[in-house]
Structure 1
Amino acid sequence: MSTVDQGLAAKFRGSSPTETSGSDKTPIVILGGGIAGLSAADTLSARGYNILVIESSDKCGGTHRSTEIGPYTFDAGSIFYEDNARLFSLAEGLRDLCPPVRRVQRRITPDGQLKHYPIEPRDLMSWPKARLAVAVADLLWSRLAQKQDGTLEAICRKRLGETMFAGTGLRSYITRFNHMPPGEIDEEFFFHRMGFIEKATRGRALMQSAFRMLRKKPFRRGKRSPLRVRPEAGFDQLFDRIKAQLEARGVQFRLAETLQTISPAGDGFDITTDKSVHRAASVIGALPLDTLHRALFGTSSELRSLDLMTLFVSASRLDPEAGNVLFNFHETGRWKRATIYSRLYSDRDTTREFLAAEVTLPVGHSPDPEAAFADFSAHLSGLGLAEDLRLEGHTIVSSAYPLYMPGRQADLARILDKVTGAGVIPVGRQGRFEYLPTAGGVIAQVARELDAAALPDRPAARPDDRTLIAV
C-alpha cells in the first residue's frame, strides 16, 4: 500500500490509514457535489454502496448557485426545468418547490429589433423582398457549392448561406460566445451547441418551413411542454433537500474541501484535499476534467475551456417586449444572455427590474466585472431597451463551457483514456468535458456512465463508519 509523501506527511503529521482499501467500509468517493455528483451518489447509494462526496464549496449544487443581494435573488446556472425533470426524482417534494412558469425568449437582432428566440423562418419574412431573395439564392447555392472543411464557419454557411448566417446575427453570437471567429471553431460545436439550428436546417425541415411560409401558416405547432423555475428563494432549497435525503440514506459529505491529489493506494486510492486525506475504494470524478488530470498526474490536460462571468444587475426600466430571457444577436455588446428574474418572481418587494447577464471570458483573461457592466449598460441603454442600470454584484464559474477547438475530439478521447486508465471514472458535463444543456441530460448520462463502469461489488457500510484519515 502506498504512503503519503514527505510533504503531505508533514502537513498531515501523525496520520495513517485507518481502513484498508479492500475493506467493505471503504467508500466510493465522488468528487463534486453538483448535479452529476449528487446523481451519482443517489444511484450508487441506492445500489448499496458506501458513498463519500467531497465538494470544494460550502454547499452543494455545483455551478447552480443563488446569491441574495438586498431584495434580489440572482443565479449562475440554468433555472428552468421540464415538468417531469429527472432532477425532481433526487428527493421528495422538489417539483412542488419549483413554481410553473412560461418562458418568453427573445433575441436582439443585428438591426436592434426584438424578435423570437431561437431564429424562426417567419422573422425572415420581415426582410425586404430583395434581401430575402438574395438570402434564398445564397442558401441554394451554398447547399450545392459550399465545401465542408471541419470548421463551424463552413457548416453554418453550407446549411444557412452567408446572407442568413450573418444577417440573423448568428455569426455575431457565435463569435461573441467563443471569442474567436467560427472559422477557428470545430464543426462539432454546430451539432452539440446548436441543436435547434441543426435540426431546422436539414433538407426536409427547410422544405416544410418554406411551405408554411408560402401558406402563411404559424411555425410553432402543438402545445409547449410545461416548465418550472427554481424556487423563488434560490437553488439552496433544492440542493439542501437532496443532500439531506442522501445523508438519511447514509451518504457522507465533506464540504469546503479542495482536491489536491489522487494517488493509488493498494487496490484503492488516497484522496488528498487541503484539509484531509481520504481512502477510496473507487473514485467518481464530477469535477472539471482538467482538475482530475492535474490531481492524478500533476500537469494540465491542455484542454481549453471558457469561464463564465455572470453580472447581477438591476434597472428602473426594461423594455416590456424583452421577455424574461433575452439573447444578444446584435453586432455589438460583450454579453450573450440575460435572465430577467423580476418577470419570473413578480412578488418581490422592489420596484426595480433585476436580472443576470452572462459574459464568457476569453481563455487566460481575468474577470473584469466593472468593464463588462459598463459595456452591458451602454449597449442596452443605447438601444433604448433599459434605463438606470446598476451593478449589484457578480460571480464567476470556472470551466463553464468546453472550447471546441479543431482536433478537440481526439485530444478529449486521449485524456479520457488516460484518466480512466488511472482508475478514475469521470462523469457528467464537467467530468466528460462536454456540453449537456439540461440537468435531465446530465442525470441520464451519469446513469449510463455508471452502468458501464467496473465498480467493486460490495455492500454499504453503516452510516457511522468513518474513512477520514487525517485533519
Structure 2
Amino acid sequence: MQCPENAPEVYDYIILGCGISALTAAKQLCENHSVLVLESYKEPGGNHQSHTIDGMEFDVGSICFNTADEQFRYFPELLRECVAKDVEVKKICTNGVVGKYPFDWQVEASSFNLLERISCIWSLLRGRFRADRYDSARGFALSRIGDVLYRRVGLDLYIRRLFGVDAAGIDYDFALKRMQWLSRETSLRHRFGRSIKNRLTITLTNGKTVVRPSGGFGLYYQKALDGLREHGVHFIFDNRALKIETNSPLMEIKTATGTFLAKRLISTIPLDEASALCDLPETGLPTVTLLSLFVALRGSWIPGCSVLYNFHTGGNWKRITVHSDFYPYTNSYDKHFTAEITVPPTVAVPTPECAFSELLAHLRQMNLIEGELFLIGSSELKNAYPIPEKGFKPRRDAAIARLASKGVICLGRQGKFEYIPHSNIAAKEAITVLNQMVKPITAY
C-alpha cells in the first residue's frame, strides 16, 4: 500500500489503531497538526467489528450507544447515521429465572422467607464494616450487598465468567468503574427517588438509546473517516507496525509496506504489543480472548429481550445479543444472534463447534429457545480487554512510563491496559490524556 497523496515527509502525529480512542485523538489533533492513522485491520472501528453472513449482520463488541455519548460531540455525523431503538436488557438469574438486568429485587430478594430476610439484612449491615471492602471487587460487592445477596445475585459467577478469575482476585478499581449499580440498588435514597420519578412519570433527559445503521461498523465509522480526511488526516489500513525506533527528534515507524516518520506517536494497540515494537520488556499482564458465536434460530427466542446476560450457575457464555431485533434479514431463520464466550489466557480457546454444543445444551436446559439452532460462523478476538488482577497497576504504569520515555503516548482500553466498559468513556479519557500530555510541537 502506498503512502497517501500529499502526505508530509514527517507527520506531527502517527496514531496506531483506528478504534474510537484513536479517532477521537485524530479529531482533537487534526486542526493544528498533521496526522496519520495506521491500522492493522482492513476497516476502522478497532474491536467494534461486524460480520455479514447470508444476509445476517453480527457484531463483535457493544451494540448500542446513547445520544448523550461524548463521541457524538466530536462526531455528530455518526449520530446522524444511528437508528433509535428500544433495547430491552435482561439476565438469567442463578435460579434460572429470566429477570431484569443488572439486579431484580422481585426475583432475587422478595422470594426470601423470614429467616432468609433476617439473614440478608444482617449480612447487609455487617458488609458495611468489612475490613476487606477496599481490597478487591469481591470486597466491594460484599460491602454493598452482603454475602447472602452476593451469592443469590450470582456476581461471583459472572465475574469469573467475564475474566476467568475469582472476584477476590480482581482489582477494587474495576468495581468502582463497573459495579456502581450495587451502590445504587442498595441505596434507600436512590430507590425512593426512582419510585417518586416513576409515580410522577418523569422522563429523564439523559439521552436515548441508538444502534449503528445497517451495513456494519466498518461502514458506520467510515463516516467519521470522511470528515477527518477533509481536515487532512491520512489513513492506511491493513498495515501492521513492525518496529518503532526513536531517532531524536523523530520517531520512525516501520510497517509491512514502508517506513513513516513522526514527531510524536500515539498507541491504542495492546500495551505489550507496543512495548515489543519498542524493544521494551513486556508486562505479561493477562488479557481475555473473546470467542463470538454467530448463531441462527429457526423457532422462538423465549426471553423476548434483545440482550441477555448469563448470571446462572451453568453455561460458559457471557452475553447473547439478538441482532435480528435491529437489522433486517432475508432468510428462512426467525432470529439470529451473537453469543459471547470469554477465554482467559490460562485456558485453551474451544473450537466453535464445541462451544456451540455447550451453548445449545445450556439454552435448552434453561428453556430459552424452542426450535432448531444453527452455528453460522464465529470470530476469535485476542486481547479483547484486560484482566484487572489485583496488583496489576504498578506493572501497567511502569510499562506506560517506559513507552512515554520513548515518546509514545498510550490511549484507550488496550493502549493503557484499562478496563473501559464502553466507547463513551473511551472518548472522554482520550481527550483527558491528550490535554494532559500533548504539548505544542516545535518546528522541525
Check whether TM > 0.5. yes
- C-alpha distance after superposition, 1:294-332 (max 9, x if no partner): 111253222221121111111123434341000000001
Comparing 155-164 with 132-141, greater Cα deviation is found at 132-141
- Bigger radius of gyration among the two: 1
**What amino acid is aligned across from residue 435 of structure 1 in structure 2?**
Y
Closer, same or farther: CA 458–59 of 1 in aligned 2, 3 Å: farther
Question: Does 2:439 correspond to 1:439?
Answer: no
**What amino acid is aligned across from residue 120 of structure 2 in structure 1?**
A
**What amino acid is aligned across from residue 160 of structure 1 in structure 2?**
I
Partner of 1:385 in structure 2?
368
Write out aligned runs for 1:50-199 (5 A). 50-91=34-75, 93-130=77-114, 131-145=116-130, 147-148=132-133, 150-199=135-184
**What amino acid is aligned across from residue 235 of structure 1 in structure 2?**
F
Closer, same or farther: CA 292–145 of 1 in aligned 2, 3 Å: closer
Question: Does 2:242 correspond to 1:260?
Answer: yes
1-side partners of 2:286 and 2:199: how far apart?
A: 41
1:112 Cα deviation after fit: 0.7
Structure 1 counterpart of 2:29, from 35, 44, 52: 44
Partner of 2:231 in structure 1?
249
2-side partners of 1:221 and 1:120: how far apart?
A: 22
1:419 Cα deviation after fit: 1.4
Partner of 2:307 in structure 1?
325
Partner of 2:317 in structure 1?
335
2-side partners of 1:299 and 1:408: how far apart?
A: 15
**What amino acid is aligned across from residue 98 of structure 1 in structure 2?**
C
Structure 2 counterpart of 1:375, from 350, 358, 365: 358
Closer, same or farther: CA 298–417 of 1 in aligned 2, 3 Å: closer
Write out aligned runs for 1:216-235 (5 A). 222-223=203-204, 225-235=207-217
Partner of 1:296 in structure 2?
278
Aligned residues of 1:190 and 1:198 also touching (Cα < 8 A): no
1-side partners of 2:438 and 2:74: how far apart?
A: 23
Aligned residues of 1:49 and 1:458 also touching (Cα < 8 A): no
Structure 2 counterpart of 1:421, from 380, 405, 425: 405
Aligned residues of 1:24 and 1:458 also touching (Cα < 8 A): no
Structure 2 counterpart of 1:33, from 18, 32, 43: 18
Comparing 99-108 with 419-428, greater Cα deviation is found at 419-428
- C-alpha distance after superposition, 1:383-410 (max 9, x if no partner): 1111311111111222122111111122
Equivalences, count = 432
- C-alpha distance after superposition, 1:439-467 (max 9, x if no partner): 222112111111112444358x9xxxxxx
Structure 1 counterpart of 2:337, from 355, 380, 398: 355
Partner of 1:15 in structure 2?
none
Aligned residues of 2:241 and 2:256 also touching (Cα < 8 A): yes
Partner of 1:239 in structure 2?
221
2-side partners of 1:442 and 1:260: how far apart?
A: 26
**What amino acid is aligned across from residue 137 of structure 2 in structure 1?**
L
**What amino acid is aligned across from residue 314 of structure 1 in structure 2?**
A
Aligned residues of 1:308 and 1:358 also touching (Cα < 8 A): yes
1:352 Cα deviation after fit: 2.1
- C-alpha distance after superposition, 1:215-272 (max 9, x if no partner): 9x87997447411101122112221121222222221112111122211113011111
1:199 Cα deviation after fit: 3.9
Closer, same or farther: CA 88–346 of 1 in aligned 2, 3 Å: same
**What amino acid is aligned across from residue 412 of structure 1 in structure 2?**
R
1-side partners of 2:287 and 2:329: how far apart?
A: 38
What secondary structure, in the 3-state scheme, does the structure 1 residue paired with 2:238 have? coil
1-side partners of 2:386 and 2:183: how far apart?
A: 19
Aligned residues of 1:294 and 1:301 also touching (Cα < 8 A): no
Give structure 2 stretches of 5+ with no counterpart. 1-7
2-side partners of 1:363 and 1:218: how far apart?
A: 48
Comparing 237-246 with 264-273, greater Cα deviation is found at 237-246
- C-alpha distance after superposition, 1:28-53 (max 9, x if no partner): 1111111111111111112x211111
Closer, same or farther: CA 92–83 of 1 in aligned 2, 3 Å: closer
1-side partners of 2:73 and 2:127: how far apart?
A: 46
What secondary structure, in the 3-state scheme, does the structure 2 residue paired with 1:297 have? coil
Aligned residues of 1:361 and 1:367 also touching (Cα < 8 A): yes
Aligned residues of 2:83 and 2:211 also touching (Cα < 8 A): yes
Q: TM-score, normalising length from structure 2? A: 0.90
1:66 Cα deviation after fit: 0.7
Q: TM-score, normalising length from structure 1? A: 0.85
Structure 2 counterpart of 1:410, from 389, 394, 406: 394
Closer, same or farther: CA 222–135 of 1 in aligned 2, 3 Å: farther
Aligned-residue Cα RMSD (Å) equals 2.6
1-side partners of 2:120 and 2:193: how far apart?
A: 17
What secondary structure, in the 3-state scheme, does the structure 1 residue paired with 2:382 have? strand
Partner of 1:270 in structure 2?
252
**What amino acid is aligned across from residue 181 of structure 1 in structure 2?**
D
Aligned residues of 1:146 and 1:157 also touching (Cα < 8 A): no
**What amino acid is aligned across from residue 45 of structure 1 in structure 2?**
C
1-side partners of 2:348 and 2:431: how far apart?
A: 36
What secondary structure, in the 3-state scheme, does the structure 1 residue paired with 2:128 have? helix
What is the identity percentage for the equivalent residue pairs of Structure 1 and Structure 2? Answer: 27
Closer, same or farther: CA 286–208 of 1 in aligned 2, 3 Å: closer
Structure 1 counterpart of 2:269, from 287, 292, 302: 287
1-side partners of 2:188 and 2:399: how far apart?
A: 38
2-side partners of 1:336 and 1:256: how far apart?
A: 30
What secondary structure, in the 3-state scheme, does the structure 1 residue paired with 2:243 have? strand
What secondary structure, in the 3-state scheme, does the structure 2 residue paired with 1:176 have? helix
**What amino acid is aligned across from residue 212 of structure 2 in structure 1?**
R
What secondary structure, in the 3-state scheme, does the structure 2 residue paired with 1:165 have? helix
**What amino acid is aligned across from residue 436 of structure 1 in structure 2?**
I
2-side partners of 1:349 and 1:39: how far apart?
A: 38
